[in-house]
């Protein structure tokens, strides 16, 4: 029989070990214990944590600084390029670099011809910026399936939306923490139940296939005057915020993260290379499946967005969204101040709680 003294000693030793783990941390608050608790356990080979990476404008630093880090982890991303910048403007990629990205499995999308505010243009000029950019990419062997609004301008304008819909399957705008595949963002009233572009009263819906919501950490950094340490913490909270919606491979919400410059200096729309490395390492170490916008599609019958059939490293498909109705829950929007989310159903955490009599 084990004495009460020995039981107390064992519990004390385990408590000391936990305290020791909590004292171990790495860059910008990305700590070991946070990684441990955020990691999915027991999903039967399915991914329930996914992220889509976007890079806007076609900046050269994306190619020289970001790509080697993405390559290290085998990540692919969507690059939204401005046609009249490619090979014509200092600090931007040329066509050889764009085509290299495509050959290596990255997704290339359209970001207009000249990166202008679409809602300020005439219908004819919107047609040029949106439609000609599609043809421009086609002339270089790239069939762009998606569009990203420059400055997020025009994503709430019917004329712009209708022109975008002529040329692209989906389009992206900001600035929300998560893209809900059923477009049922609980922060928006009245709550949507699907991703139709127009309401029954012919009004534009908040989220639809042509306004897929994404999070620009650059915009958030400027708005909040946030340091790299703060941005590292926000990044973790944003990508982890999907955990309460996704389960056992059924994906209902996805964080889409937007970058501009990477490792440049003197520009507010720049992510420090050290921060970018830490963010990508976090995704890798915590079992996130990194996808592109090309992995998103729209079901015209259900009016839902879904993930195309993919195979993971364990040959288990990521399930498409055909699950029962999603229960509403709170989601961070423009200011992106989502609360820290403690994952539930974690056997390690549950064991520790049981050991120390916690609820």
- Close Cβ partners of 11 (under 8 Å, ≥ 6 residues apart): 355, 356
- Higher pLDDT, residue 323 or 268: 268
Q: Looking only at Cα atoms, what is the longest distance across the chain? A: 86
Confidence of residue 315 (pLDDT cuts 50, 70, 90): very low
pLDDT at 207: 96
Confidence of residue 245 (pLDDT cuts 50, 70, 90): very high
Confidence of residue 187 (pLDDT cuts 50, 70, 90): confident
Following DSSP, what letter does each residue of 92-112 receive, concatenated? B--HHHHHHHHHTT-EEEE--
**pLDDT-wise least confident of 167-176, 271-280, 328-337, 350-359:** 328-337
Whether 257 has a pLDDT exceeding 60, the answer reads yes
Domain layout of the chain by residue ranges? 42-355
pLDDT at 188: 84
* Highest-pLDDT range among 6-15, 184-193, 212-221: 212-221
Whether 225 has a pLDDT exceeding 50, the answer reads yes
pLDDT at 356: 47
Comparing C-alpha atoms, which of 259, 234, 184 is closest to residue 335? Answer: 234
Task: Measure the CA–CA gap between 164 and 123, rounded to whole angstroms.
Answer: 12
User: Please, what's the b/e burial string for 188-222 (b: 16 or more CB within 10 A of its CB; e: otherwise)?
Assistant: beeebeebebeeeeeeebbbbbbbbbbbbbbbbbe
pLDDT at 357: 54
Q: Between β-strands 78-81 and 289-291, what pairing exists: parallel, antiparallel or unpaired?
A: unpaired
Confidence of residue 313 (pLDDT cuts 50, 70, 90): very low
Decide which of 3.40.50.300, 3.40.50.360, 3.90.1010.10, 3.20.20.370 is the CATH code for 42-355: 3.20.20.370
**pLDDT-wise least confident of 80-94, 96-110, 112-126, 175-189:** 175-189
Q: Is the pTM of this model over 0.75?
A: yes
Comparing C-alpha atoms, which of 40, 41, 22 is closest to residue 32? Answer: 22
CA 353 to chain centre: 32
CA 68 to chain centre: 19
pLDDT in tens, 319-346: 433 333 323 333 333 333 333 333 444 5
Whether 203 has a pLDDT exceeding 60, the answer reads yes
């Amino acid at each position: 029989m084990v004495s009460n003294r020995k039981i107390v000693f064992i519990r004390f030793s385990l408590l000391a070990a936990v305290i020791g783990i909590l004292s171990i941390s790495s860059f910008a608050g990305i700590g070991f214990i946070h990684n441990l608790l955020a990691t999915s356990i027991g999903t039967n080979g399915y991914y329930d944590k996914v992220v889509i990476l976007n890079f806007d404008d076609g900046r050269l630093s994306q190619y020289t600084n970001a790509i080697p880090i993405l390559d290290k982890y085998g990540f692919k991303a969507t690059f939204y390029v401005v046609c009249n910048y490619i090979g014509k403007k200092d600090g931007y990629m040329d066509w050889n670099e764009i085509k290299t990205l495509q050959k290596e499995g990255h997704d290339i999308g359209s970001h207009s011809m000249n990166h202008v505010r679409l809602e300020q243009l005439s219908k004819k000029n919107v047609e040029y910026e949106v439609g000609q950019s599609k043809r421009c990419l086609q002339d270089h062997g790239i069939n762009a399936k998606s569009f990203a609004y420059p400055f997020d301008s025009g994503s709430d304008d019917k004329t712009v939306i209708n022109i975008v819909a002529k040329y692209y399957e989906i389009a992206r705008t900001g600035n929300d923490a998560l893209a809900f595949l059923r477009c049922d963002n609980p922060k928006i009233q009245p709550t949507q139940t699907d991703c139709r572009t127009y309401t029954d009263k012919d009004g534009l819906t908040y989220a639809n296939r042509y306004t897929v919501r994404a999070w620009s950490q650059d915009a958030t950094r400027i708005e909040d005057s946030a340091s790299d340490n703060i941005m590292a913490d926000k990044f973790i909270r944003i990508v982890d915020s999907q955990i309460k919606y996704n389960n056992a491979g059924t994906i209902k919400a996805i964080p889409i993260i937007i970058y501009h410059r990477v490792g440049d200096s003197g520009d507010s729309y720049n992510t420090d290379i050290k921060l970018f490395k830490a963010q990508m390492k976090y995704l890798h170490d915590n079992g996130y499946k990194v996808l592109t916008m090309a992995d998103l599609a729209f079901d015209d019958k259900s009016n839902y967005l879904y993930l195309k059939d993919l195979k993971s490293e364990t040959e288990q498909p990521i399930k498409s969204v055909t699950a029962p109705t999603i229960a509403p829950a709170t989601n961070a929007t423009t200011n992106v101040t989502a609360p820290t989310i403690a994952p539930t159903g974690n056997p390690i955490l549950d064991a520790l709680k049981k050991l120390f009599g916690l609820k």
